Amino acid sequence: MSDPKIRVRFAPSPTGFLHVGGARTALFNWLYARKVGGEFVLRIEDTDQERSTEESYAAILRGMEWLGLDWDEGPGAGGDCGPYLQSERLDIYREHIDALRTDGKLYPCYCTSEEIKGRNLAKGEDAFAGYDGHCRELTTEQRSAYEAEGRDPSWRLRTPDQDSTFWYDIVYDKKEFPNSSLTDRVVLKKDGFPTYNFAVVVDDHLMGISHCLRGDDHVSNTPFQIHVYQALGWTPPKFGHMPMILGPDRKRLSKRHGATSVEEFAGMGYLPDAMVNYLALLGWSAGGSGDEVFARTELIKKFSLKKVNSSPAAFDYDKLNHINAQHLKRLEPAGRLRLVEPMLAERGWELDPAWLVPAATTSDYLGRVLNLLGGRFSNLLRVPEQIGFFFSDDFAVEAEASAEHLAGEETKTWLTGLAAKIEAAAPVDQAASVEIYDEAVRAFAEELDIKAGDLIHPCRVALTGTTRSAGIFEVMELIGAPRTVARLRGAAAQ
């Protein structure tokens, strides 16, 4: 109660779509905030003028919304610490840059990155060996000389060479870097924009962020940022670095592994809840043994930063598919209906009273169909093909199924005979029940002296076009006697 407010943030840069790695980082922040009753801030880090785009910004918001990760402060949500776009906070950064400059903690650097690389190479070092401190101790005359050449400086923070910098990471525990391995990084670019490493510190501090939870790729930025906090006279927040997500081959997750943006997953028929559930399982576990399929509320209840582990995790579609199927199966009938109804509208599928089925409206009918199919759905994208034959006679018949079960002349006679039996048994003006079909089929099988299955298998193909379906008598009930009879005759006539 007396603890200072827990505030976390997700701070993507709008230079691409919302990547699953970023989404997972956002998710852990969100889960933590929701778990402890803290606040979740969304901030857009668009200090890279060249790469930041409006499209990307919009795509990231869409991705967050699709996942259902709502933010308490940020674009569209308001808040007392705005603006939440770094490009709109330039005067704030400028103010703190000026303060540091006045304190003599910054120095101008006139080098281009090519010059730095060139010098590293000349010294026999790797080109990426880092900044060599070339402008660190420039005299006033030297600076004037550079200025006279027309060079605009960037500004670097002077960091110590001795001792080391450490912090206690939520995930890694103690992390320590020798200061000798740190270079004086740029905090203010030539274009007047702050660098990420500066803006992130100013914003996290000014926005009252208590826990900075970010990707593992930021670990080695942290010591420099701690020096920025110190230069500004501020106390750093707690840091926690989340493990990376790798591709199935344990290489950095990239396009060649398939989908990497959350919107692609949306388009692939995954449920947001399933995606959230699966992502949470990458680098975190509820511990112990048992079920791993969690509703959002359960996830919040169970989540703990302490259980986030430090090893990178490989993305696994098999498990995602399983989690997705489980979520689809556990959906409330009303929720499932809401998801599927648009698919009907799209295809113009609706109930026809002539079918004589036990439902009054299209929605009722769909409800019964979905109820019958129940746990058979594993992916939203496959739903239309799974329910199509209930609504339309224009459904695909698998060639192999047809060849195996419908080709025989004998079979055709049976189906014709069965059609007549059903026609006789089913009322002409009302829906017939499962029992009527069941009896009709079994009685006819007995009459023919064949196994019920010998009749049932061809029926299934004739009625659904496949060899895989729910109980065939239930299917008959739901497609109705007129269509059942017609499809049996149609198959026999092939």
Partner RNA sequence: GUCCCCUUCGUCUAACGGUUAGGACACCGGCUUUUCAAGCCGGCAAUACGGGUUCGAUUCCCGUAGGGGAUGCCA
Site for RNA in 201-260 (CB under 7 A): 216-221, 243-244, 246, 248, 250-252
Query: Nearer Cβ to RNA, position 220 or 371?
Result: 220
Cite the active site residues: 255
Interface segment toward RNA; rule CB under 7 A; list 205-213, 261-269, 361-369, 467-475: 467-475
Cβ 380 to RNA shortest distance, Å = 15
Please select the residue that binds RNA; options are 37, 290, 348, 353, rule is CB under 7 A: 290
By CB under 7 A, is residue 150 in contact with RNA? no
Beta-sheet strands, E only, within 59-192: 106-109, 154-157, 164-169, 173-178, 186-188
Cβ 257 to RNA shortest distance, Å = 12
Interface segment toward RNA; rule CB under 7 A; list 256-264, 289-297, 359-367, 391-399: 289-297
Please select the residue that binds RNA; options are 139, 140, 235, 311, rule is CB under 7 A: 311
Please select the residue that binds RNA; options are 99, 268, 337, 456, rule is CB under 7 A: 456
Rounded to an integer, what distance in angstroms lies between the CA atom of residue 425 and that of residue 138?
101
Rounded to an integer, what distance in angstroms lies between the CA atom of residue 109 and that of residue 59?
36
Query: Nearer Cβ to RNA, position 200 or 485?
Result: 200
What does DSSP assign to residue 451? -
Interface segment toward RNA; rule CB under 7 A; list 128-136, 269-277, 340-348, 423-431: 128-136
Site for RNA in 160-189 (CB under 7 A): 172, 175-178, 181, 183, 185-186, 189
Rounded to an integer, what distance in angstroms lies between the CA atom of residue 120 and that of residue 128?
8
Please select the residue that binds RNA; options are 158, 329, 417, 423, rule is CB under 7 A: 329
Query: Nearer Cβ to RNA, position 363 or 378?
Result: 378
Interface segment toward RNA; rule CB under 7 A; list 73-81, 137-145, 416-424, 471-479: 471-479
Q: Give the residue among 342, 334, 315, 330 at the shortest CA–CA distance from 378.
A: 330
Specify whether the CB–CB gap between 300 and 277 falls below 8 A.
no
Per-residue mark of binding to RNA, 90-109 (x: CB under 7 A): -------------------x
Query: Nearer Cβ to RNA, position 345 or 443?
Result: 443
Query: Nearer Cβ to RNA, position 314 or 448?
Result: 314
Burial class, 345, CB count within 10 angstroms (exposed 0-12 / middle 13-18 / buried 19+): exposed
Cβ 1 to RNA shortest distance, Å = 29
Q: Which tokens hold the place of 336?
A: 């499932």
Please select the residue that binds RNA; options are 90, 129, 268, 343, rule is CB under 7 A: 129
Query: How far lies 135's CA from each of 140, 164, 382, in Å?
Result: 11, 23, 62
Specify whether the CB–CB gap between 363 and 337 falls below 8 A.
yes
Q: Give the residue among 338, 350, 438, 352 at the shortest CA–CA distance from 387.
A: 350
Query: 454-492: string of b/e by CB count within 10 Å (b at 16+)?
Result: ebbbbbbbbbbbbeebbebbbbbbbbbbbbbbbbbbbbb
Specify whether the CB–CB gap between 27 and 67 falls below 8 A.
yes
Per-residue mark of binding to RNA, 403-442 (x: CB under 7 A): -----------------------------------x----
Query: Nearer Cβ to RNA, position 457 or 483?
Result: 457
Q: What is the size of the binding site for RNA (CB under 7 A)?
A: 96
Query: Nearer Cβ to RNA, position 178 or 333?
Result: 178
Q: Which tokens hold the place of 418?
A: 């069965």
Sign, Cα dihedral of 348, 350, 352, 353: negative
Site for RNA in 352-391 (CB under 7 A): 374-376, 378
Query: Nearer Cβ to RNA, position 78 or 375?
Result: 375
Cβ 206 to RNA shortest distance, Å = 16
Query: How far lies 301's CA from each of 116, 142, 295, 298, 437, in Å?
Result: 51, 61, 10, 5, 48
Please select the residue that binds RNA; options are 191, 350, 400, 435, rule is CB under 7 A: 191
186 forms beta bridges with 156
Q: Give the residue among 173, 165, 174 at the shortest CA–CA distance from 308.
A: 173
Site for RNA in 8-47 (CB under 7 A): 11-13, 15, 45, 47
Cα 64 to its chain centre, rounded Å, is 8
